[in-house]
Amino acid sequence: MNLWFRLLHMLLRRPWRKPVHGLDTTVVRMRVWPLDLDLNRHVTNGRYFTLADVARMDFVLRTGAFRVALRHKAVPIVGDTWGKFRRELKLFEAFEVHTRMLGWDHKWSLMEHRFVSNGRVIGVVVIRGVFRSAKGTLPPAEFVRELGLNETSPPMPQWLSNWARSCDEMSVHLREEEQV
């Protein structure tokens, strides 16, 4: 199934989906279609990241984050992604994507997408993103305050802080390479 159809399907269901608190977990149900498969006949690694995009759109709409972004004329930008694949998803298998906000720092918001089938975690995609407008990056503390959340991030697990730090270090390294 083309991802545009998945997105359209999610948007058409939106009027019946309840709004959620910004720290709640949203769940989107999907099914594996032939175009999701690689030569090994299971969902291709890259497809997980794209399916996470669809689930993230549901989260942004249901939490009201899209309204805050519209007020600031800001667009969401994903800066970094990371994936952990534990099991395969096969043709026509039903699964869910559980999306939640893990926390934020001075610049980045961090989210998790858990792919679940039959009660088991199949894979996890973590993203680090910002909302950017013509005026620059919207500070996450300001953004979450407008969502009605506390400006202080929930405590993040050590592995997440380590990953975010490694992303920052990679950015510094790439900038240094460009200077040479």
* Structural domains of the chain, ranges and CATH numbers in brackets: 3-154 (3.10.129.10)
pLDDT band at 19 (very low <50, low <70, confident <90, very high): confident
Q: Is 19 exposed, middle or buried (0-12, 13-18, 19+ CB in 10 A)?
A: exposed
How far from 23 is each of 75, 84, 130, 158, CA to CA, in Å? 20, 22, 17, 19
Task: Name the percent of the chain lying above pLDDT 90.
Answer: 84
Stated as kind and residue range, the H or E segment containing 27 is strand 26-31
Distance CA 34, CA 28 (A): 19
Q: Write out pLDDT tens, residues 95-116.
A: 999 999 999 999 999 999 999 9
Query: Strand 109-117 vs strand 94-104: parallel, antiparallel, or unpaired?
Result: antiparallel
> CB neighbours of 20 closer than 8 A, spacing ≥ 6?
26, 59, 62, 63
Indicate whether 10 pLDDT > 70. no
Distances (CA, A) of 39 to 32, 36, 43, 93: 14, 10, 9, 17
Query: What pTM was computed for the model?
Result: 0.90
CA distances from 150 to 25, 72, 98, 110, 141 (A): 17, 19, 22, 16, 8
Arithmetic mean of pLDDT over the chain: 92
Q: What share of the chain is helix, strand, coil (3-state, %, to 5)?
A: 40, 30, 30
- What is the 3-state secondary structure of 133-164? ECCEECCHHHHHHHCCCCCCCCCCCHHHHHHH
CA distances from 177 to 51, 84, 173 (A): 33, 28, 6
pLDDT at 131: 94
- Coil, helix or strand at residue 115: strand
Per-residue confidence (pLDDT) for residue 1, from 0 to 100: 44
Give 55-79 pLDDT, tens digit per residue: 999 999 899 999 999 999 999 999 9
Band of pLDDT at residue 18, cut at 50, 70 and 90: confident
